[in-house]
Structure 1
Amino acid sequence: MTEFYTYLDVLNRLRDGETVRSAPREVLRAQPLPSRLALSLLPQAAMEPVKAWLRQTFGPRFLEDELAIALEATSSASPRLLPVEFERVEEDWKTGQRLRLRPTLMSGSVVVYNMPYEVAETDDLGDCPPVLTFHSFKGGMGRTTLALALAAAVHKVHRRVLFIDADFEAPGISSLLKHSMPKPRIAFADLLAIAATSSEIEANDAIETVAGRLADQEIDGLIVLPCTRDLGLPSVSPETLTLSGKRSPFFVGSLVARLGKRIGADLVIVDLRAGLSELVASLFLDPRLQHVLVTTLNGQAIDGTIMLLDRMREMASKWRAASSTQFDASLPTVIINQSPPGLTEAGFGQESALAAMAVFEEEIRLFLEQLRSSDQLTDAPENPFQEASITTSIVDADPTVTILPRDLRETQRSLIRTNLPDQMYSIFGSLVPLSAPSVLGQDRVLTDANQRRERLAEYARKGIFAESQPQADIYPTDSLVNLAERHQSAPPTVTVIGEKGSGKSYTFMSLALSKTWGTFTQKLGVGSLKQPRSSEALVLPVTPPQDLDRDAREAERKVTAETARALTGGMPLNDQLIADAVQRQLQRPDAGSAVVWRQFWLDMIAWRAGFTPGTPEAFGRFTEALLPGHAVVGIFDGIETLFSRLRSSEQEQAAVEALLRLVPDWLSQLPTKNVGCVIFIREDLARYAMVNNFKQFADRYSAFALRWNWAEASALALWIAQQSGSLPSTIAPESLASLDEEQRSQELVELWGWKMGPNTSREARSLEWTMSSLSDFNRSIKARDLVRFLAESASRSTPSDIYHDQRLLSPRAMRDAIGPCSRDRVFETGEENVDLKRIFRKIEGLVGSQRELPWSYERAHELIGSEDVRVLEDNGVLFRYEDEFFVPELYRSGLNLFYSGGARRKVVTLMRQAAGRGR
Structure 2
Amino acid sequence: MSLQAVENERLLTWLDVERLLKQRTALWTLLPADVRGVDCFADGMEIRHTTDAAQIDDWLSTLFGHAYQREPRAIRLRIGNATYLVELVHETAGSATAVAQTYPLWQDVTYLPKRDLEALDGDTPSPQSQQQGSTPAPWISGPNLVSFHSFKGGVGRTTALMTYVAACMQEPNGGSKKILVVDADLEAPGVSFWLDDANRPTVSFVQLLEALHYPPAGLDATLDFFATELRKTSLNVGGLQRELFVLPAALDLAEIQDISVAPEHLARNPANPWQLSDHLHVLGQRLGVDAVFIDLRAGLSELASPILFDPRVDHFFVSTIAPQSVQGMAEVLRRLYAFNRRLPAKQQDDARPTVVLSLLTKELREADHYEQALKALGEAYPSDDALTSGVQWLEAEFLSTLMSIGSVREALDALPQSNRLFGSASEWAKALYAEPMPVQPGTQTGSASPVSSSRQGQAKRLYEICKAAEFADSTATSAILATEPLLNLGKHYVKDLPNLLMIGAKGAGKTFTYRQLVRTGAWQDFLIKLGFDAGSIVNAGIFPVLWSGNIEDTPEGEIKVAQCRALDFIQGSRQYLLRGTELQRQIQDALKTPPDHWEDFWDDLITQQMGVAEGGLKELNRVLATKATRIIFVFDGIEDMFNDATEAHSIDAIHALLRLPNRISELENRHIGALIFVRADYVQATIRQNLGQLLQRFQPFRLEWNPESFLRLAFMLSCQAEIIEGDPKSADYLRIEELKEKLERLWGKKLGSEKSKEAHSARWVYAALCDLKGNVQARDLVRFLKFTANLESGRSASTWTDRILAPESMRQAIPLCSTEKVTEAKTEIAPLRKWIELMEQQDIHNLRVPFSMEEARLDASLLSTLQEIGVIYEDLDGNFGDERLFLPEIYRYGLRFETSAAGRPRTQALLKKNIGNIPL
Instruction: Tell me the TM-score range normalised by the shorter chain.
Output: 0.5 to 0.7
CA drift of 1:485 comes to 3.6
Counterpart of 1:803, as a letter, is T
CA drift of 1:745 comes to 6.8
Cα distance in 2 for partners of 1:475, 1:839 equals: 35
Does the residue aligned with 2:545 lie in a helix, a strand or coil? strand
Cα distance in 2 for partners of 1:198, 1:769 equals: 50
Q: Tell me the residue number matched to 1:808.
A: 804
Q: Tell me the residue number matched to 1:5.
A: none
Q: Tell me the residue number matched to 2:716.
A: 719
Does the residue aligned with 2:465 lie in a helix, a strand or coil? helix
Q: Tell me the residue number matched to 1:579.
A: 584
CA contact (8 A) 1:751 1:808 kept: yes
Q: Tell me the residue number matched to 1:793.
A: 788
1:397-476 aligned within 5 A: 426=423, 429=426, 431=428, 438=437, 445-469=451-475, 471-476=477-482
Describe the shift of the 1:496–1:169 C-alpha distance in structure 2 as closer, same or farther (beyond 3 A). Answer: same
CA drift of 1:462 comes to 0.5
Note if 1:570 corresponds to 2:568.
Answer: no
Taking only the aligned residue pairs, the percentage that are identical comes to 20
Does the residue aligned with 1:678 lie in a helix, a strand or coil? strand
> 1:654 aligned to 652, 672, 686, which one?
652
> 1:707 aligned to 704, 708, 720, which one?
704
Describe the shift of the 1:734–1:415 C-alpha distance in structure 2 as closer, same or farther (beyond 3 A). Answer: farther
Note if 1:676 corresponds to 2:673.
Answer: yes
Counterpart of 1:782, as a letter, is Q
* Cα shift readout 1:338-385 (whole Å, capped 9, x = no counterpart): xxxxxxxxxxxxxxxxxxxxxxx8767666x76347877533457999
Counterpart of 1:464, as a letter, is E
Cα distance in 1 for partners of 2:258, 2:491 equals: 57
Note if 1:545 corresponds to 2:548.
Answer: yes
Q: Tell me the residue number matched to 1:644.
A: 643
Q: Tell me the residue number matched to 1:501.
A: 507
CA drift of 1:631 comes to 4.2
CA drift of 1:886 comes to 8.4
Does the residue aligned with 1:224 lie in a helix, a strand or coil? strand
Note if 1:912 corresponds to 2:908.
Answer: yes
1:817-832 aligned within 5 A: 817-818=813-814, 820-832=816-828
Counterpart of 1:504, as a letter, is K
* Cα shift readout 1:90-127 (whole Å, capped 9, x = no counterpart): xxxxx99xxxxxxxxxxxxxxxxxxxxxx979999xx9
Counterpart of 1:316, as a letter, is V
CA drift of 1:172 comes to 8.6
CA drift of 1:697 comes to 2.6
Counterpart of 1:562, as a letter, is R
CA contact (8 A) 1:168 1:227 kept: no
Note if 1:749 corresponds to 2:744.
Answer: yes
> 2:536 aligned to 524, 532, 535, which one?
532
Describe the shift of the 1:334–1:898 C-alpha distance in structure 2 as closer, same or farther (beyond 3 A). Answer: closer
* Cα shift readout 1:513-550 (whole Å, capped 9, x = no counterpart): 3444454445555x4x475334x444433322232157
Pick 1 or 2: higher relative contact order, CA cutoff 8 A, min separation 6: 2
CA contact (8 A) 1:438 1:753 kept: no
CA drift of 1:225 comes to 4.4
Counterpart of 2:651, as a letter, is Q
Counterpart of 1:621, as a letter, is L
* Cα shift readout 1:398-430 (whole Å, capped 9, x = no counterpart): xxxx999x996x998x999xx979997546545
CA drift of 1:760 comes to 6.6
CA contact (8 A) 1:453 1:794 kept: yes
Instruction: Tell me which moved more, 222-231 or 796-805.
Output: 222-231
CA drift of 1:690 comes to 1.0
Cα distance in 2 for partners of 1:138, 1:899 equals: 34
CA drift of 1:639 comes to 0.6
CA contact (8 A) 1:479 1:704 kept: yes
Cα distance in 2 for partners of 1:784, 1:533 equals: 31
Q: Tell me the residue number matched to 1:558.
A: 561
CA drift of 1:679 comes to 1.7
Normalised to the residue count of structure 1, the TM-score between the two structures is: 0.59
Q: Tell me the residue number matched to 2:325.
A: 315
CA contact (8 A) 2:192 2:250 kept: no
Cα distance in 1 for partners of 2:607, 2:223 equals: 81
Could you say what the CA RMSD is over the residues aligned between the two structures, in angstroms? 6.5
CA drift of 1:239 comes to 13
Describe the shift of the 1:652–1:896 C-alpha distance in structure 2 as closer, same or farther (beyond 3 A). Answer: closer
CA drift of 1:698 comes to 2.5
* Cα shift readout 1:42-71 (whole Å, capped 9, x = no counterpart): xxxxxxxxxxxxxxxxxxxxxxxxxxxxxx
Cα distance in 2 for partners of 1:635, 1:457 equals: 31
CA drift of 1:701 comes to 2.7
Q: Tell me the residue number matched to 1:690.
A: 687
* Cα shift readout 1:212-236 (whole Å, capped 9, x = no counterpart): 9879958677663437499866843
Counterpart of 1:648, as a letter, is E
CA contact (8 A) 1:854 1:899 kept: yes
5+ residue gaps, structure 1, are: 1-94, 97-118, 200-204, 248-254, 293-308, 336-360
Does the residue aligned with 1:502 lie in a helix, a strand or coil? coil
Cα distance in 2 for partners of 1:261, 1:846 equals: 65
Q: Tell me the residue number matched to 2:97.
A: none
Counterpart of 1:625, as a letter, is L
Instruction: Tell me which moved more, 691-700 or 891-900.
Output: 891-900
1:195-214 aligned within 5 A: none
Counterpart of 1:657, as a letter, is H
CA contact (8 A) 2:838 2:857 kept: no
CA drift of 1:794 comes to 2.0
Cα distance in 2 for partners of 1:674, 1:239 equals: 90
CA contact (8 A) 1:502 1:706 kept: yes
1:155-194 aligned within 5 A: 155-156=172-173, 174-175=195-196, 182=199, 184=201
CA contact (8 A) 2:607 2:616 kept: no
CA contact (8 A) 1:189 1:227 kept: no
Cα distance in 2 for partners of 1:733, 1:552 equals: 35
CA contact (8 A) 1:889 1:907 kept: no
Cα distance in 2 for partners of 1:483, 1:683 equals: 18
Note if 1:513 corresponds to 2:508.
Answer: no
CA contact (8 A) 2:849 2:887 kept: no
Does the residue aligned with 1:236 lie in a helix, a strand or coil? helix
Cα distance in 1 for partners of 2:713, 2:583 equals: 34
CA contact (8 A) 1:169 1:233 kept: no
CA contact (8 A) 1:505 1:545 kept: yes
CA drift of 1:830 comes to 0.7
Cα distance in 2 for partners of 1:914, 1:184 equals: 48
CA contact (8 A) 2:145 2:293 kept: no
CA drift of 1:837 comes to 1.9
Describe the shift of the 1:698–1:618 C-alpha distance in structure 2 as closer, same or farther (beyond 3 A). Answer: closer
Does the residue aligned with 1:626 lie in a helix, a strand or coil? helix
Cα distance in 2 for partners of 1:553, 1:191 equals: 86
The size of the alignment, in residue pairs, is 711
Cα distance in 2 for partners of 1:208, 1:834 equals: 75
Cα distance in 2 for partners of 1:497, 1:261 equals: 63
* Cα shift readout 1:544-564 (whole Å, capped 9, x = no counterpart): 223215799823432332232
Does the residue aligned with 1:546 lie in a helix, a strand or coil? coil
Cα distance in 1 for partners of 2:847, 2:366 equals: 40
